[in-house]
Chain A
């Protein structure tokens, strides 16, 4: 999910660069682009951390633990109190 915000802002910069703007308007939108570019980068950092956290969770041996739990339940049932 990371990369969408900054690439969106990059696309806007590219579109703007390919067009002639009146100086005052151009400068004001350059500042705006700087602001949203900075915010996009910050949001991307958060998204990247989220992805790292999800990766860590997905690497947990969930299926093995479930199989082991089922085996323990069978062993417990076999005790025969």
Chain B
């Protein structure tokens, strides 16, 4: 009949328990952090999509107005200088906006892809961490039972010494 456990087992189990508690809490924090990062990335994507919409609206307005300005310059006689200035500034805006749109399109596409990826990762990290925590809990419960037994034997030296 062997009931003697090795030396320092009770203390080691306490240390393992403390370490596991720390690790499980870290896992929970990491999952929360992943979720928060995903929310931030999603907000950034929304922000840039709204910037893009705003620029597209300005471009559309400018294109429409440019048609009117060209008509005024072609058929009207008054304030030619003023309308020429408007035409030049409108065209300048359109040139600059057309440089900006492909860049923001690319950024929006990257953000959209990354958000999709982060969304999958968010679910996956929550699932894997939950699994980790549940397996960890089972082991820790078992360890605490072993510790109880060890402590119990330690309190009854005559039994602990039996071999």
Q: Do the beta carbons of B121 and A53 come within 8 Å of each other?
A: yes
B interface, over-half SS: helix
Note all chain A residues with C-beta closer than 8 A to B136. Answer: 36
B92 nearest CB neighbor, chain A only: A75
Q: How far is the CB of A62 from chain B (nearest CB, A)?
A: 7
Note all chain A residues with C-beta closer than 8 A to B93. Answer: 72, 75-76, 79
Report 21 cross-chain contacts, Cβ distance below 8 Å, ordered by A residue.
A1-B33, A8-B19, A8-B20, A8-B26, A11-B23, A15-B12, A15-B19, A19-B7, A22-B2, A22-B4, A22-B6, A32-B142, A40-B23, A43-B27, A43-B132, A46-B125, A57-B41, A65-B51, A79-B65, A79-B93, A81-B65
**Residues on B facing A (Cβ under 8 Å):** 2, 4-9, 12, 15-16, 19-20, 22-23, 26-27, 30, 33-34, 37, 41, 44, 48, 51, 54-55, 58, 61-62, 65, 85-86, 89-90, 92-93, 96-97, 100, 103-104, 107, 110-111, 114, 117-118, 121-122, 124-125, 128-129, 131-132, 135-136, 138-139, 142-143, 146
